[in-house]
Structure 1
Amino acid sequence: MQTKQTVNEGLKRSYAVTISAGDITARVDAELKKIAPQVRMPGFRPGKVPVNLLKKMHGESVHAQVVNDAIRDSLDKLIRDEQLRPAMQPQVELGAGYEQGKDAELTISLEVLPVIEAPSTDGLKIERLVVPVTDAQIDEALAGIAGNNKSYKDAPKTKKAAEGDQLIIDFVGKLDGEPFEGGAAEDTALVLGSNMFIPGFEDQLVGVKTGQEKTITVTFPADYQADHLAGKEATFDVTVKAVKTETETVIDEDFAKNLGLDSLDKLKEIMKAQLEQQTAGLTRTQMKRQLLDQLAAGHSFEVPPSMVEAEFQQIWTQLQQEAAQDADPAAALKQIEDEKDEYRTIAERRVRLGLLLSEIGQANGVEVTSQEMGMLVQQAAAQYRPEDRQRFIEYVQSEPMVAAQLRAPLYEDKVVDFLFDKADITEREVTVEELQAAIEADETAEAAPAAKKAPAKKKAPAKKAETAADDAEAKPAKKPASGKAEKAPAKKAEASADKPAAKKAPAKKAAAKK
C-alpha cells in the first residue's frame, strides 16, 4: 500500500492510496484456498476442485469481496499510521478505471477533529433553582389520581342516564342488517360523555334506563382504522344492563389500600417523590444551560463542517416537521427559511460544545462502563422486532461509530455531572412557574429567532440552547399518535477514528395500528 497526502487545509485531509494488483491477487488466491474444502462439484472429491474452476465459478464474487476488505484495511491502516481522528465517516472512492489485474487507486477524504486544549474546569458558577413541594401540590396530585379512579354505584331503575353516568351494556353492531366482525361485546362499561365510542353513539344513549333495549344508528368516521367500516353507516342493538352514578371518592386510608399501598402516608410520600423528580428535571435543564453558556463563552475554535452540516440537518428536519403541523404551515415554513443562517449558527454551537464536553471528559477520566454500554444497547435493541434484536446488537458491536452514537448521550450527561461537582453552586427557592419562566427566558435569550415573528399557531421551534442532550431531562416526552416512542437524534460528541459502516442495521419494528 502506497500513500500520498494530497490535501491538508484546516481540518480537511485527502490521500491518494494505491493497493497493488499483486496484493489483491494474493488475497484472492488465499480466499479461494480457504473456500476450496467447502466447494462441491460433480466429478470431483470435496476439496479437490481445480483452482482454475474455482476462479471461473467464484472468482468474480471473491474478487469483489477482497477489494472491499482491502479498502477497509487500507483505511484502517491510514488512520493508524497518520494518527487521524476522523470527525465523520471518511469518504472513500475507487478509481473509475479499475479492473481486475490492475492496481486499485483510492481517494480517501475526511475531516479531522480539532486539537483542543483541555478547558479549565475552575471558576464555574451555577445557580440551582429549587422548587419545594408543598402540601397543596401533593393534595392536587392526589385529587388527580382520585379523578382517574372514579367509582360508581347502581342507580334506581327508574333513573334516566345522563352525561357522567356509567352504563353497563351489551351491544351488537350490524351493516345492512348483518352483524360484522368485532362489532359485539357484553358487559361493557361506558361513561356517557367520555367520547370512548364513535361520534353519535353515546349521545343516543342519554335518557335510557336499566333494562331498556335500544337500536341506534351511527356513521363510522371516514378515516376509521378498520377499512371495511370506514365511512359506513351501521346500527347497534344495545341492551342497557345497568345505569350507575358516580360516588364521591374519599382520599383516605382505604383509598390508598385500594391502590395497593399500606397507608395514605405512603401514598403521599410517593406523590411527593414524583413531584420532586419532575421539578428536578427542570432544575437540571436550567443548570445545564448555565454551564453550557459559560463553556461556549470561553472557547472558540474551528469545528468540522461535516459535523455542523449533520447537526444542522437534524435541526432543520425537526423544524420542518413542526412547521408542517402549524396552523399556518406556509407562514411557519417561510419563517424558518428566513432564519436558516441562525439555525446553522446554533448547529455550530452544539457541535463545539459537544467537542468541548468530550475533551473535558477524556482529560478527567470520565468513562461509560461496559455494563452501562450493555444497557444502552439493550434499550436500543428493544425498539426493533424481537427477531431482529440480536442482529442489531451484533451490528452495534461491529460498527464502532454506531456504538459511539449510542454512548454519547450518557457520556455527555456524566461529563455534565462531573462539571456540576466542580462548580460553585448556590441555591435559590422558586415556584415551579418561576423555574419554567427562567427556562423559557434562557431559550429566548440564547437563540429564539422565532420570537421575532410568531406564526399563527404559537409553537416553539426546536430547542437550540443545549448540545446534543437538549431538553430531554426537563419533562417526559409526549407519546406520538402512532404509539411509538420518539427517538432522539444520534449524538456526535464522541466522534472517533472508526471504520466506515459496512453493514446495514435491521429495520425497526413498525408502530402497531390502533
Structure 2
Amino acid sequence: MQIIEANVDGLKRTLKVVVGAAEIEQRLASRIDQVKDSVQVKGFRKGKVPVAHIKKMYGRSLMTEVLQDTIRETSESAIRDRKERPAQMPNIALSEDQDEINGVIEGKKDLAYQMTFEVVPEIALADFGTIELERLSADVDDETLQKSIDDLLKRAGSFEADEGRKAETGDRVTITYAGTINGEAFEGGSGEGLSLVLGNAGFIPGFEEGIVGMGKDETKDVSCRFPDEYSVETLAGKDAVFNVTVTQVEKPVEAKLDDDMAKAFGAESAENLKELVRKQIQGEFDKAARVKMKRELLDKLEALHTFELPQSLVDREFEGIWQQVEAGRKQQGENAEDAGKSDDELRADYKKIAERRVRLGLVVGEIGSKNLVEVTQDEMRMALMEQARRYPGQEKFVYEYFEKTPGALQELRAPIFEDKVVDLVIGKAKVTDKKVSRDELYEQVKAATEA
C-alpha cells in the first residue's frame, strides 16, 4: 500500500491511497479460499468446485466485497499510521472512469482512491488552578418551607358539597353544557356530568370565568372565543356560546398537617414531613446553584481554549440545531427571542451556538481523556433505570431501545461524562463560596442561563 499526501490545509487532509493489483489478487484468492467449501454448483460436489470455476462464476461479486474490505482496512490503517484522530468518517472517492474501475475489478489495475477528512485539533489545556468560580448557596427559610407545605396540603385537600354556595375560583363544579357557533352545534362542544376546578384553565378563556357566581341547578349562556392558535383549526378564532347548567358546587377543604396526613406522604410524623420537604427544597437550591456555577465554568473553558474547529463537526451540530428550530416553528410558532430576525440572522446566531458546543465538546473530551475520566457500568445502569422509570409499564421497551441503539446510549453517557469532568475541574479551580437568598439565587441562575 502506498500513501501519498495530496493536500494539508489546516485541519483538512487529502490522501491518495494506492493498493497494488498483486495485493488485491492475493486478497481475492484468500476470499475464494474462505468460501470454496460452501459454494454449491450443479455438477460438482459441495466443496469440490474448482477455484477457476468459482472465480469465473463469482469472481466479480467476490472482488467487489474484497475491494470494499480493502478500502475500509487501508483507510483505517492510513489514518492510524499518521497518529491523527479524524473528526468524522473520511469521504472516499474512487475514479469515475469506468474503464479504470473495470480494470481494478478484473485484477489488471491498481486500486487507487482519494480520502478526504478533517482531524481533531491538538488542544493545549489551560491551567485549571487559574480559574476563579463563585459557588452560591441558599438556606431554606421558614417562609419558603411553609409555602411548600401549604401547596402540598392544598394538593392533598378534598372538596365538599355546599348546596347554597355560589361558585368561586378554586371551587369544583359539575356541569352539563352544550356549545354552538352561529347557532349550530359543533363536534366536541357538549358534555354531561363534567367536573372542573374553576381557575385551573382547563377550558378556553372566558368559559370558567363565566361559571363563577353560578349556583346549583342554575343555567346560563356563557360566551367565549376560541384562541387563534387553537389546536382544532375549524374552531380557531371563532366565537361560541355555551349553555351551561351547574349540577353541583363543591368548596375546597384544605388538608390539615398532622401525623396521619404525614404518613399518607410516606413520612413518619408531621415534623418528619417538614424535614423531608426542607431537604427537597435544599436539593433544588443546590441543583440551581450548580447550574449557575457549571455555566460559569463552561464559559471560562470556552474563553481559555481557542483553536480551529473542524468545520464538519460544526456543520453537523448546526444542522441538528436548525432542524429543532424548524420543528419548533411548525409546532409552536416562532419563539419570542427569534421574532423579527431574518433566516440569515438566525442562522448566524445558531451557528455561534453550534461552534460553542463543538468547542466545549472537544475541550471536555480532552480533559476527560487526559485525566482518565470514565463512565462506569454502574453509572450507566443507574442512568438506564432512571430512563425506564419515566415510562411505567414500558420498561422492557426502554431497555430494548437502548440495547439496539448505540447512539442513544452515547447520548445517555455524554452528560454523565461531562458532569464528571466539570467536577474534576471545579476541584482544581479557585472556588469562593457565597451565601445568597432564594430570590438572589434564582435571579443569578436566570441571568447566567439566558446570557
Tell me whether the two structures share a fold, i.e. TM-score over 0.5: yes
Q: Judging changes above 3 Å, is the alpha-carbon distance between structure 1 residues 403 and 88 closer, same or farther for their aligned structure 2 residues?
A: farther
Which residue matches 2:184? none
Which residue matches 1:247? 253
Q: Does 1:116 align with 2:123?
A: yes
SS at 2:16 equivalent: strand
Q: Give the drift of 1:76.
A: 1.6
Pairing 1:51-130 to 2, within 5 Å after superposition:
61-97=61-97, 98-99=101-102, 100-101=105-106, 102-130=109-137
Q: Give the drift of 1:361.
A: 2.8
Q: Judging changes above 3 Å, is the alpha-carbon distance between structure 1 residues 25 and 379 closer, same or farther for their aligned structure 2 residues?
A: farther
SS at 1:148 equivalent: helix
**Structure label with greater radius of gyration:** 2
Q: Does 1:277 align with 2:283?
A: yes
Which residue matches 2:149? 142
Give the letter aligned to residue 85 of structure 2: R
CA contact (8 A) 1:93 1:106 kept: yes
* Aligned equivalents of 1:227, 1:62: Cα separation in 2: 58
Q: Judging changes above 3 Å, is the alpha-carbon distance between structure 1 residues 161 and 266 closer, same or farther for their aligned structure 2 residues?
A: same
Q: Give the drift of 1:429.
A: 0.9
Q: Judging changes above 3 Å, is the alpha-carbon distance between structure 1 residues 162 and 412 closer, same or farther for their aligned structure 2 residues?
A: closer
Q: Does 1:364 align with 2:374?
A: no
* Aligned equivalents of 1:96, 1:347: Cα separation in 2: 35
CA contact (8 A) 2:387 2:398 kept: no
Pairing 1:294-305 to 2, within 5 Å after superposition:
294-305=300-311
* Aligned equivalents of 1:163, 1:121: Cα separation in 2: 56
CA contact (8 A) 2:153 2:254 kept: no
Q: Among residues 355, 361, 369, which one is paired with 1:354 in the alignment?
A: 361
Give the letter aligned to residue 154 of structure 2: G
* Aligned equivalents of 2:288, 2:374: Cα separation in 1: 25
Which residue matches 1:410? 416
Pairing 1:2-401 to 2, within 5 Å after superposition:
2-35=2-35, 46-47=46-47, 61-97=61-97, 98-99=101-102, 100-101=105-106, 102-156=109-163, 164-167=170-173, 189-192=195-198, 194-196=200-202, 207=214, 209=216, 243-316=249-322, 324-326=333-335, 331-333=340-342, 336-337=345-346, 340=348, 344=351, 347-373=354-380, 390=400, 393-394=403-404, 396=406
Count of residues in Structure 1 that have an aligned counterpart in Structure 2: 436
CA contact (8 A) 1:133 1:272 kept: yes
Q: Judging changes above 3 Å, is the alpha-carbon distance between structure 1 residues 120 and 204 closer, same or farther for their aligned structure 2 residues?
A: closer
SS at 1:122 equivalent: helix
Q: Give the drift of 1:418.
A: 0.9
CA contact (8 A) 2:134 2:433 kept: yes
Q: Give the drift of 1:286.
A: 2.3
* Aligned equivalents of 2:110, 2:386: Cα separation in 1: 45
Q: Give the drift of 1:359.
A: 2.8
- CA displacement, residues 48-69 of structure 1 (integer Å, 9 cap, x when unaligned): 5666776677655544443332
Q: Judging changes above 3 Å, is the alpha-carbon distance between structure 1 residues 166 and 282 closer, same or farther for their aligned structure 2 residues?
A: closer
CA contact (8 A) 2:384 2:399 kept: no
Give unpaired runs (5+ residues) of structure 1. Answer: 174-179, 444-459, 464-514
CA contact (8 A) 1:261 1:267 kept: yes
* Aligned equivalents of 1:237, 1:46: Cα separation in 2: 84
Give the letter aligned to residue 96 of structure 1: E
CA contact (8 A) 1:119 1:356 kept: no
Give unpaired runs (5+ residues) of structure 2. Answer: 180-186
CA contact (8 A) 1:320 1:333 kept: no
Q: TM-score, normalised on structure 2?
A: 0.73
CA contact (8 A) 2:160 2:252 kept: yes
SS at 2:297 equivalent: helix
SS at 2:256 equivalent: coil
CA contact (8 A) 2:128 2:425 kept: yes
Q: Judging changes above 3 Å, is the alpha-carbon distance between structure 1 residues 84 and 285 closer, same or farther for their aligned structure 2 residues?
A: same
Which residue matches 2:183? none
Q: Give the drift of 1:151.
A: 0.4
SS at 1:362 equivalent: helix
Question: Which shifted more, 105-114 or 290-299?
Answer: 290-299
* Aligned equivalents of 1:219, 1:301: Cα separation in 2: 56
Q: Give the drift of 1:246.
A: 1.8
CA contact (8 A) 1:208 1:240 kept: yes
- CA displacement, residues 461-492 of structure 1 (integer Å, 9 cap, x when unaligned): xx6xxxxxxxxxxxxxxxxxxxxxxxxxxxxx
* Aligned equivalents of 1:318, 1:195: Cα separation in 2: 29
User: How high is the sequence identity, in percent, across the aligned residues?
Assistant: 36
* Aligned equivalents of 1:432, 1:412: Cα separation in 2: 27
* Aligned equivalents of 1:147, 1:57: Cα separation in 2: 81
CA contact (8 A) 2:129 2:430 kept: no
CA contact (8 A) 2:17 2:114 kept: yes
Which residue matches 1:509? none
CA contact (8 A) 2:317 2:354 kept: yes
CA contact (8 A) 1:163 1:206 kept: no
Q: Give the drift of 1:127.
A: 1.6
Which residue matches 1:494? none
Q: Judging changes above 3 Å, is the alpha-carbon distance between structure 1 residues 200 and 406 closer, same or farther for their aligned structure 2 residues?
A: closer
* Aligned equivalents of 1:418, 1:120: Cα separation in 2: 13
CA contact (8 A) 1:165 1:246 kept: yes
CA contact (8 A) 2:93 2:114 kept: yes
Q: TM-score, normalised on structure 1?
A: 0.65
